[in-house]
Chain A
Amino acid sequence: MATRILHWLEDRLELSSIRRLAVHKEVPVHRFSWAYFLGGAVLFLLMIQLGTGILLLLYYRPSAEEAYESVQFIVAEVEFGWLIRSMHSWSANLLVGMAFLHLFTTFFMKAYRKPREITWMSGVLLLFLMLAFGFSGYLLPWNELAYFATQVGTDIVGAVPLIGHPLMVFLRGGEQVTGATLTRFFGFHVAVLPALTTLLLLLHLGLVQKHGMSVPPKMIGKPYQTLPFFPNVLLRDIMAWYILLAVLVTLCAFLPWELGSKADPFAPAPQGIRPEWYFIFMFETLKIIPSNVLGIEGETLGVVGFGAAALALIVVPFWDYLARRLGRPGLLTLLGVLAVIYMAVMTLVGYL
């Protein structure tokens, strides 16, 4: 019976072609092989986000009157609600962290080189989408911190020259952060961003399958060992996921995500307000830029700078190409190191 079902499916879906693909995929073995697990780790955490997110949707209510209470209900009344909510929040943070690590390793191993330019660009865009998920999701519990973080975050958007103000009004659904903003962010968080992510993720993963694993530049042209993806590497991947799941659940059990107090638009902002850790380096940068640089507003300068940096990150493969044409292949690596140091130092400053 089982074989008949398999034959029936085989005739229609050509499953054996997928199996052939899996059998032929090989992963190089070298000192930095651990970096190959990072993409899979991001994917695993993304699946956790999808699963826990769908679960939270069953009880969450996206309105200023009910959002906070519904999250409170999830955490206090629904069985394992505290766990599901904490997992969604913690996993979001691990996901962004892993995505950054994935970005750095692919950057320093120059995995964006031909033919993987599009893989890199789709990956950077996916990272930006993850940040957008983080920002939009942060508001949804409608607590004090989220309310003011959104007030500040959307205000920064307002500093973009020309389109800033209309963009801010679009994001807020008005001049102020209100229930309309919450509804909007909910729409972005559960519909718009997931749709975009799905498309880009399919492209990204499809290209990874098409091109196979990249090899660090130093090993190109030399013989190296490989490991079959199926089942050897996949089993190691699954082990890594188990470890991640254990870390995640441990964090949830010992440091359950706080809800704080309900947002009150007519209360003063609380002390020590700051964004999530992955936005801290930007937050601190905006703090140190003087309020006026050569007649340009400091905030505007900062926002334009971040925009330029984001664009530069997207087109890294072409920079690298130019640098090599000019005979300065190390230049980009140096810039990358400086960027990492800058982000690390600024993040530390934010917490001191």
Chain B
Amino acid sequence: MPKRRSLLKAFLSGSIAASLLSVFYPVFRFLIPPDKPEASALSVSAGSSQDLAPNTGRIFRFGSRPGLVVRRPDGSLKAYSAMCTHLDCTVQYRPDLQHIYCACHEGHYDLNGVPISGPPPRPLEEYSVQEVGGEIIVSKVS
């Protein structure tokens, strides 16, 4: 009879394993958040262009992420992702330094978004920027 017993044991442990799996699989899948489409729009408005004086910057919402638009001292516009490439803090434009600065870990970027000192490993992601009818329109460079 040992054969029958081992068969029964296999059935029993198989059923227990299957029912545990049927409980924990949904739990496991529930724990993983669904993908939310990021910034469904490829271009957004970053506000009026008159209000952005030379040598200032402004943070705007690009989908679910912050963006930074800067009017450089020469009057030209630049837009970047405002997420620091080091640890995702939000960067800011510092008029006194005339470059982009991350306050979390003293990261500095020049006006092309290239890191010049501190921990940031990569340049900021750059967006293309246009002035349309007094509004600043920022779009992703695809």
Contact = CB atoms under 8 A, between A and B. Distances in A.
Contacts of A55: 27, 30-31
Contacts of A77: 34
Given A83-B26, A84-B26, A58 B31 contact: yes
Interface residues of A, number: 13
A84 B30 contact: yes
Chain B interface extent, by class? 10 to 19
For B23, B26, B29, B32, which residue has the most chain A Cβ atoms within 10 angstroms? Answer: B26
4 nearest A-B pairs in the assembled complex, by CB-CB distance: A80-B26, A79-B29, A77-B34, A80-B30
B19 interface: yes
Nearest to A54: B27
A80 B29 contact: yes
A134 to B, nearest CB: 23
Interface in B32-47: 32-34
B136 to A, nearest CB: 29
B31 to A, nearest CB: 7
A81 interface: yes
A79 B19 contact: no
B54 to A, nearest CB: 39
A55 B24 CA distance: 12
Contacts of B32: 79
A78 B30 contact: yes
B115 to A, nearest CB: 36
28 contacts: A51-B27, A55-B27, A55-B30, A55-B31, A58-B30, A58-B31, A59-B33, A77-B34, A78-B30, A78-B33, A78-B34, A79-B26, A79-B29, A79-B30, A79-B32, A79-B34, A80-B26, A80-B27, A80-B29, A80-B30, A81-B30, A83-B26, A83-B30, A84-B26, A84-B27, A84-B30, A242-B19, A245-B23
For A59, A77, A79, which residue has the most chain B Cβ atoms within 10 angstroms? Answer: A79
Interface string B59-75: 00000000000000000
Nearest to B25: A80
Contacts of A51: 27
A77 B37 CA distance: 12
A155 to B, nearest CB: 36
A54 to B, nearest CB: 10
Contacts of A78: 30, 33-34
Contacts of B23: 245
A70 to B, nearest CB: 12
A214 B81 CA distance: 69
A51 B26 CA distance: 12
A58 to B, nearest CB: 7
B20 to A, nearest CB: 12
For B23, B26, B30, which residue has the most chain A Cβ atoms within 10 angstroms? Answer: B30
Nearest to A242: B19
Contacts of B31: 55, 58
Interface string A5-23: 0000000000000000000
A77 B30 CA distance: 10
A55 B23 CA distance: 13
A83 B23 CA distance: 11
A72 to B, nearest CB: 12
Nearest to B36: A77
Contacts of A245: 23
Contacts of A242: 19
A83 B26 CA distance: 8
Interface in A74-104: 77-81, 83-84
Contacts of B30: 55, 58, 78-81, 83-84
